[in-house]
């Protein structure tokens, strides 16, 4: 029989709500800091906003890296391209001059550049990226609790000891400990929850992101208490709205990685397409056939698809999209009484809600006024 059968269902972020706390003057909306850690000591890189764009062909190229870096976030350049192309993207970002005082910078004042690597060609790719100026690497794998991942992290730490590497993805306490033991400076959490992901449907593997974060962040905190070293966590896959980001942070994540959200921005990699009178951007999974030969490097198989090819409605320039979402995150933190992300980790109280209670939180038992755009209350953007 199975080693273990858990009969408690796996939970998604959308099933939780935050309880309000005491809002002191110091945590009014305009005082809330979103500064956060992305890597553990000794190279403790920080971001001014806790948002990271996914390492995907249809999301994070050099334009996204520059635009999101200007906003204080971080794009992870995708590795499903040749090492030479990815290194050229790193160079492009390093050559752009950051303008904003809160842009994400490395010690030399240029943009901090993060790039993804896979577990197949790291011996060739990593030197090319580091030579081009990459500051931080993410191992891009759907299942990070593997011998291939440990080998890749060990190789990077041995050959490029000043470049921190974030491992992933994992969804269990064992997976977290494995990656930290292997030398990861941060851990990415999530499996099967992405908007274009069909891993759960195809293979039956995966976990609700809230449950995964609760278990992994609990293990991280135990690790901090026993070792004195804090390992930041990235929540990845299925974060749709600002409230999902806040919920992931409240559980214990330090940053949130989003694909669909950023694919809608003008600065994502693809041109807009018109469909039935509206403007969209193509958005496809790294495990879809559209990602072609590269999907094997992420999924260790090429016999079937683990992602779909989709469209997402255009949302305009990144700056405007972020202004609204960040205002929501700050307002939510202010209501919980947290003036910073570390404080949110200490004081947040979350509660599982019933389906009826979720319904109660939406407009109900009223007729929408004629001026209200149809569908506005449940619009998932
Ligand atoms: P989203 O923000 O919900 O769109 O999820 C984006 C995340 O989905 C990425 O950061 C990856 O972790 C994951 N992902 C990317 N491509 C695929 C795929 O083809 N199948 C499953 N997961 C994917």
pLDDT 10s digits, 7-45: 999 999 999 999 999 999 999 999 999 999 999 999 999
Residue 298 pLDDT more than 90?
no
DSSP string, 195-216: TTB-HHHHH---B-HHHHHHHH
Closest listed residue to residue 248, CA positions, set 177, 193, 301 = 193
Model confidence pLDDT, tens digit, residues 85-116: 999 999 999 999 999 999 999 999 999 999 99
Q: Kindly give the distance from the C-alpha atom of residue 137 to the centroid of ligand 1, in angstroms, as a whole number.
A: 18
285-301 average pLDDT score: 83
Q: pLDDT tier at 373 (50, 70, 90 boundaries)? A: low
Helices 242-251 & 209-227 angle (0-180, nearest 10): 40
**Quick one: pLDDT at residue 296?**
77
Q: Is the CB of residue 321 less than 8 Å from the CB of residue 265?
A: yes
With the CA atoms of 137, 143, 144 and 147 taken in that order, what torsion angle do they form, in degrees rounded to the nearest 10? -120
DSSP state of 307: B
146-150 average pLDDT score: 98
Reduce the DSSP state of residue 37 to 3 states and report it. strand
* Catalytic choice (197, 207, 220, 264): 197
Q: How far apart are CA 321 and CA 257, in angstroms?
A: 15
**Quick one: pLDDT at residue 302?**
79
Q: Is the CB of residue 186 less than 8 Å from the CB of residue 167?
A: yes
Active site residue 217: no
Average pLDDT taken over every residue of the chain: 95
Pocket residue to mutate for ligand 1, from 259, 264, 289, 306, most atoms within 8 A of Cβ: 259
Residue 127 pLDDT more than 80?
yes
29-38 burial string, b = 16+ CB within 10 Å, else e? eeebbbebbb
Does an H or E element contain 349, and which? none
Closest listed residue to residue 150, CA positions, set 115, 189, 184, 186 = 184
Provide the CA 180 distance to its chain's centre, in angstroms: 19
Q: pLDDT tier at 294 (50, 70, 90 boundaries)? A: confident
306 lines ligand 1 (CB under 6 A): yes
Residue 372 pLDDT more than 70?
no
259 lines ligand 1 (CB under 6 A): yes
332 CB-near residues (< 8 Å, 6+ apart): 18, 242, 243, 246
Model confidence pLDDT, tens digit, residues 342-356: 999 999 999 999 999
Q: Kindly give the distance from the C-alpha atom of residue 377 to the centroid of ligand 1, in angstroms, as a whole number.
A: 26
Active site residue 197: yes
75 lines ligand 1 (CB under 6 A): no
Residue 380 pLDDT more than 90?
no
Q: Name the pTM for this structure.
A: 0.95
**Quick one: pLDDT at residue 375?**
61
């Amino acid at each position: 029989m199975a080693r273990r059968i858990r009969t408690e269902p796996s939970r998604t972020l959308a099933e939780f709500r935050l309880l309000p706390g005491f809002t002191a003057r110091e945590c009014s909306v305009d005082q809330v800091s979103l500064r956060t850690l992305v890597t553990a000591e000794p190279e403790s890189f920080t971001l001014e906003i806790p948002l990271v764009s996914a390492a995907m062909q249809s999301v994070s190229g050099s334009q996204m890296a520059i635009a999101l870096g200007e906003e204080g976030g971080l794009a992870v350049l995708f590795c499903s391209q040749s090492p030479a192309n990815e290194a050229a993207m790193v160079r492009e970002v390093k050559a752009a001059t950051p303008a904003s005082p809160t842009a994400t910078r490395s010690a030399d004042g240029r943009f901090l550049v993060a790039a993804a690597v896979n577990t197949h060609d790291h011996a060739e790719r990593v030197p090319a990226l580091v030579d081009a100026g990459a500051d931080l690497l993410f191992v891009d794998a759907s299942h990070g609790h593997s011998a291939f991942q440990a080998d890749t992290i060990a190789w990077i730490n041995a050959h490029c000891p000043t470049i921190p590497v974030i491992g992933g993805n994992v969804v269990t306490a064992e997976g977290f400990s494995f990656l930290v033991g292997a030398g990861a400076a941060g851990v990415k959490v999530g499996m099967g929850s992405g908007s274009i992901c069909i891993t759960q449907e195809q293979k039956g593997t995966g976990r609700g992101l809230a449950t995964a974060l609760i278990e992994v962040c609990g293990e991280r905190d135990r690790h901090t208490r026993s070792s004195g070293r804090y390992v930041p966590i990235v929540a990845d896959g299925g974060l749709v709205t600002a409230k999902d980001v806040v919920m992931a942070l409240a559980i214990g994540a330090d940053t949130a990685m989003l694909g669909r959200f950023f694919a809608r921005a003008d600065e994502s990699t693809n041109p807009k397409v018109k469909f039935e009178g509206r403007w969209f951007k193509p958005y496809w999974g790294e495990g879809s056939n559209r990602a072609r030969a590269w999907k094997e490097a992420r999924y260790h198989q090429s016999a079937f698809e683990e992602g779909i090819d989709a469209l997402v409605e255009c949302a305009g320039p990144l700056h405007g999209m972020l202004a609204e979402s960040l205002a929501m995150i700050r307002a939510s933190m202010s209501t919980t009484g947290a003036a910073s992300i570390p404080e949110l980790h200490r004081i947040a109280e979350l509660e599982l809600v019933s389906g009826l209670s979720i319904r109660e939180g939406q407009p109900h038992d009223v007729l929408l006024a004629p001026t209200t755009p149809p569908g506005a209350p449940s619009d998932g953007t």
